[in-house]
Amino acid sequence: MLMPSRLEPITVVNPDDKQFFKTLGSRIAQLRKAAGLSQQTIADELGIAQQTYAHYEVGRLRMPMSLLPKVAERFGVATDELLGLKSAPGKRGPAPQLQQKIEQLSRLPKAKQKFVLQLLDGVLAQQNR
């Protein structure tokens, strides 16, 4: 049985909402995997237990609505996208995978960032010929 902390209320999913939370969790899991991150990493960033986060990904527990903006921001997507809603026309942002790579790059040491940017400049220069 899960042992919640004082800050993590556990809300069991009722049958009517089960499919919604299962699909939401699947979307979040796909974003996390595409970013090459562990459940523990995301749980730590959100300030929750890894086990609780794992239950959110499989739809066993309801993710609190207060976490949705944090999760969306972490993966560089709109909350509407997490919820499976179509985004508003004209508000299309960068591809989530590209945004995730940019965020990963920003966390590298400056010397490694410079190296990656030089490689990218070389590839782009060849493409523009």
The whole-number pLDDT of residue 19 equals 86
- 3 has pLDDT over 60: no
Higher per-residue confidence, 45 vs 88: 45
Tokens of 14: 């009722």
Quick one: 126 exposed, middle or buried, by C-beta within 10 A (0-12, 13-18, 19+)? exposed
CA–CA separation, 29 vs 19, rounded Å?
A: 15
User: Which domains does the chain carry?
Assistant: 1-91 (1.10.260.40), 94-129 (no CATH)
- 12 has pLDDT over 80: no
> Do 70 and 22 meet the contact criterion of CB atoms below 8 Å apart?
no
Q: What angle is formed at CA 68 by the lines to CA 104 and CA 74, rounded to 5 degrees?
A: 5
> Do 28 and 48 meet the contact criterion of CB atoms below 8 Å apart?
no
> Do 8 and 2 meet the contact criterion of CB atoms below 8 Å apart?
no
Q: Would you state the torsion angle of the CA atoms of residues 58, 27, 76, 9, taken in this order, to the nearest 10 degrees?
A: -30
**Percent of the chain, pLDDT > 70?**
78
Higher per-residue confidence, 129 vs 26: 26
